[in-house]
Structure 1
Amino acid sequence: MIIRIMGEGQYRAPETLCDELNQIDNRIVDLVMEGKVEEFRKELAKLISEIKEKGEAIEAEEILESDIIVPPRDLSFEEAKAIFKGCGIIED
């Protein structure tokens, strides 16, 4: 699976990471719906960290189609409301 973190590049993530990322994504959706800004920020940072730690960075010269696009760490809460809804950014 190829994941792009906006402004930070692409990562090749093992399929085993998908369930963990999906759980974080679902928590983010819930936090956004509940209006919990600080908790949302922590979970988004955790999502990005997990991808970076457990994924393999793809060289900038190699351009691949992304399966998932993760918004940047500095995403505003208002922008998050438009992105993290329904099933979030990771489809079950």
Structure 2
Amino acid sequence: MIVRIMGEGQVKLDDAHFTELNKLDDELLQEMESGDEQGFRRTLNALLDAVRGLGTPLPDDALEPSELILPAPDADLEEVRQMLNDDGLLPG
């Protein structure tokens, strides 16, 4: 799957990693629902770090369509809330 982190670029991420990433996504959703700003910030950064670490960066000039778009590291609660689907940020 091709994943874009807003403001950074794209990475190719194997679907096998989504079980691990969905745990962070679930945690992020809980923190958003409770208004835990510190927890939200920590978990958003952990999620983005995991995507960066598990994925393979695509060249800046690659024109691959993104199948998933994640917020920038400095996104606030409201910006991320607008990006959510029924499952959170990630499918599944």
TM value normalised by structure 2: 0.91
Change (3 A) 1:19 1:43: same
Contact persistence 1:32–1:84 (CA under 8 A):
no
Cα RMSD, aligned residues only: 1.3
> What 5-or-longer segments of structure 1 have no aligned partner?
none
Q: For residues 25 and 52 of structure 2, what CA distance do their matches in structure 1 show?
A: 15
Find the counterpart in structure 1 of residue 72 from structure 2.
72
* Structure 1 runs, 4 residues or longer, greater than 6 Å off: none
Unpaired runs of 5+ residues, structure 2, are none
User: Which residue in 2 is equivalent to 1:86?
Assistant: 86
Q: Is the 8 A contact 1:31 1:39 kept in 2?
A: yes
- Tell me, in whole angstroms, the C-alpha distance in 2 between the residues paired with 1:7 and 1:84: 18
**2:55 aligned residue:** 55
Residues 1:16 and 2:32 are matched in the alignment: no
Aligned with 1:69: secondary structure? strand
